[in-house]
Amino acid sequence: MIPISKKIPHAFSSDSLRGILEISIYVIVVYFFRGIFTYLQNYLSGYLSIKSTSDMRQDTYSLILNSQPQTFYSKKSGEFINVIIDDINKIREMIFSFLTELFPSLLTLICTLTYIFYLNWYLSIFVLLLIPIIGLIISFFSKKIKEKAENIQNKVIENYSNIYENFINYNAIKVFALEDKKEKEYFNLETYNNKDSLSIISLISLQPSVIGVVQVTGICIIACFGAYQLFNKALTLAELLSFGTALSLTIEPVIFITKSISIITKSKVSIDNINNMTVFLLNNKDKNLRVINYIDNYQIIFDKVNFYYPNKLEKTLNNINITIQEGQSIAFVGDNGSGKSTIIKLILQFYQGYEGQIRLGKYNINEYNFDVFRQNIKACFHEPFIFTGTIKENILLNNTNYDQLEEVCRITKVDELINNLDNRIDYQINHAGNNLSSGQKQRIAIARAIITKPKILILDEATSALDLESEKYIYHEIRKYLPKSTILIVNHRIDSIKFVDQFYYL
């Protein structure tokens, strides 16, 4: 468009319409191809931003899933949710803005400034004087935006954590009539968040306006000097129009650059958060580099084991010495907080950092390959984990033991459950199993644990929601189904576990 501006005075001074028609056709063709280029640019930029952040989200999710269990005890759930959803969405916005606005605008600005210097280096000096002023304005606003973005991120994390906590404790909120209290907590957090969000919007809106005033002021000063040169015959009208057109073309790129820098500044907080989370997850990743790929002896030995929970002064486990022979049934009993479940979680390698040794056969449990170790040990807990899907899918997971499905359903009395359901074993379970009772979920979880006939089965309050007769029946049938397996039980109802070989009192 800059070269055509030189032809405008000549076209209008001519008696023929030919020149004006040529200019009109030129403008139409330029804008036609510009439209095609803009579409392709936006589409490809969108594809690249979606693809790159989708890969980033998958990698982050994979890191979270492959982290050590203790990882989740040291951070809020909202921090993980925020990284996967909010932070990565901001990175996507930043990449798209860079490809569609910042990069093309920088390229346009550089080319335009180069042409301006080519046209008139004297007037171009005034343009150079504007650059540091605009740079200082951008730096000032960027610092303020980053501070507000950090505040927002902290509140978003807290909000995500509270929402997750309230959803999983929904029944307790209803029982204790906490709706108003929890609603007020959410409202207060959201109010603070909105204030900071409005502050960022205010800063982002004000920044281009301030820069625009500086830019237009500079252009007016340059126009005055240009007119002075024109009157003194140092510059022709065509050259002045061309220079003015080129100078006007710097306004839009500067606005886009300013907008993109604001987006990048906000995204910088997310980039730092993702980097910190990635480093944290990599440091806590299950490093499956253990050398022992087989287990030939399932004897479990605790040798002088001590364990502290983080930020607690007293030992949860103090000099624990236990020997469990392969194939034994063992029950851990004791008061709440005595360390029964802690022993179970140490065997499962949910916690590290204990003193002493925990051996499986001849080797420390930390020396076994994770895949081999987990293939041979299955566990059920007081709160069974249920996934969205059918009952059959929840029992089998990634196993293909279809021939044992009917038997484990009988053992756990899941067959009684499915006989009263539509679609029977293909009955669809809602999110977190909220269309099943606690006892029904526990039966499904136990069926899932025993279907692979594990060498070690752990039942940590796994039947707490069942009646005594059902509990006795299931324990009895499990022992018959797994005659050679080691079974470790945590249970407060002694009557239902009298069959065990040994009790450990903690």
In-domain check, residue 294: no
> 504 or 27: which carries more pLDDT confidence?
504
Q: How far apart are the first and last CA of the chain?
A: 85
In this structure, are 92 and 224 located in the same domain?
A: yes
The CATH number given to whatever domain includes residue 57 is: 1.20.1560.10
Q: Are strands 502-505 and 329-333 parallel, antiparallel or unpaired?
A: parallel
What are 296-345's pLDDT values in tens digits? 888 999 999 988 877 676 778 888 899 999 999 999 888 877 888 889 88
In-domain check, residue 166: yes
Query: What mean pLDDT is predicted for residues 167-180?
Result: 75
- Which residues partner with 320 through β-bridges? 305
In-domain check, residue 293: no
In-domain check, residue 289: no
Share of the chain above pLDDT 70, in %: 92
* Cβ atoms within 10 Å, residue 85: 13
d(CA 477, CA 401) in angstroms, rounded, equals: 18
Residues ≥6 apart with Cβ < 8 Å to 228? none
In this structure, are 262 and 313 located in the same domain?
A: no
What are 206-243's pLDDT values in tens digits? 888 888 888 788 878 877 877 877 787 777 777 777 77
Q: To the nearest whole number, what is the mean pLDDT of the chain?
A: 82
Domain boundary among 226, 256, 283: 283
In-domain check, residue 497: yes
User: In this structure, which amino acid lies at residue 74?
Assistant: S
d(CA 116, CA 349) in angstroms, rounded, equals: 68
Its sign, for the CA torsion 134, 135, 136, 141, is positive
In this structure, are 205 and 339 located in the same domain?
A: no
The CATH number given to whatever domain includes residue 434 is: 3.40.50.300
Judge contact between 214 and 134, C-beta under 8 A. yes
pTM across the whole model: 0.68
Domain boundary among 248, 283, 318: 283
Domain boundary among 237, 253, 283: 283
In-domain check, residue 403: yes
In this structure, are 251 and 364 located in the same domain?
A: no
Q: What's residue 481's pLDDT? A: 92
In this structure, are 307 and 243 located in the same domain?
A: no
In-domain check, residue 114: yes
Closest CA to 138 of 233, 42, 208: 208
In this structure, are 13 and 110 located in the same domain?
A: yes
What single string gives the DSSP state of each residue in 343-358? HHHHHTTS----EEEE
Domain count, the chain: 2
| 410 membership: H or E segment, kind and range | helix 402-411
- Structural domain of 408: 300-505
In-domain check, residue 295: no
In this structure, are 279 and 322 located in the same domain?
A: no
Give me the torsion for CA of 177, 183, 185, 186, rounded to 10°.
Answer: 150
In this structure, are 18 and 122 located in the same domain?
A: yes
In this structure, are 374 and 407 located in the same domain?
A: yes
In this structure, are 242 and 126 located in the same domain?
A: yes
Number of residues written out for the chain: 506
In this structure, are 318 and 413 located in the same domain?
A: yes
Q: How confident is the model at residue 281 (pLDDT cuts 50, 70, 90)?
A: confident
Q: Are strands 389-390 and 355-360 parallel, antiparallel or unpaired?
A: unpaired
d(CA 171, CA 162) in angstroms, rounded, equals: 15
d(CA 491, CA 463) in angstroms, rounded, equals: 8
| 331 membership: H or E segment, kind and range | strand 329-333
In this structure, are 319 and 417 located in the same domain?
A: yes
